[in-house]
């Protein structure tokens, strides 16, 4: 089975429980850390899935790694690969899919209900 590609944006914000969960299930994964200077691949062809981690920056910041992450999100979706984003990763998914990412007028703490649409 191909490994899961994990995109890390800051050295202090690693895969933590995701890595524990993947290891417990025997799922191989590869972490690419942008802050450590590790380039993101051009495509997700060599991977079974894509996971994008968080970070202190905004998804709207003009950082090349963020734009590369968005391109990989679209590439993974085009290849029917599962994609998951945590915090910043979720914002990048929203941007890649055409949504605007803006500052929330109120704090968001914990899990919130979501609606699924076709």
The greatest distance separating any two alpha carbons of the chain, rounded to the nearest whole angstrom, comes to 43
Estimate the share of the chain in helix, then strand, then coil, as percent rounded to the nearest 5: 30, 15, 60
**Mean pLDDT, the chain, whole residue set:** 95
Q: pLDDT grade, residue 104 (50/70/90)?
A: confident
Q: Which of 107, 90, 108 is nearest to 99 (CA)?
A: 90
Q: Are 57 and 95 in contact (CB under 8 A)?
A: no
Using the predicted structure, report yes or no on whether residue 110 has a pLDDT greater than 80.
no
Please state, in angstroms and rounded to a whole number, the distance separating the CA atoms of residues 44 and 41.
Answer: 7
Does position 91 have pLDDT exceeding 90, yes or no? yes
């Amino acid at each position: 089975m191909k490994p899961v590609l994990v995109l890390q944006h800051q050295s202090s914000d690693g895969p933590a429980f995701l890595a524990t969960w993947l290891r417990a299930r025997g799922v191989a994964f590869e972490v690419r850390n942008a802050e450590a200077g590790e380039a993101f691949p051009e495509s997700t062809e060599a991977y079974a899935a894509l996971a994008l981690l968080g970070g202190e920056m905004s998804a709207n910041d003009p950082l090349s790694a963020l734009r590369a992450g968005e391109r990989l999100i679209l590439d993974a979706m085009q290849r029917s690969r599962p994609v998951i984003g945590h915090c910043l990763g979720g914002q990048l998914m929203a941007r890649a899919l055409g949504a605007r990412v803006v500052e929330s007028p109120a704090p968001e703490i914990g899990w919130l209900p979501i609606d699924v649409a076709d």
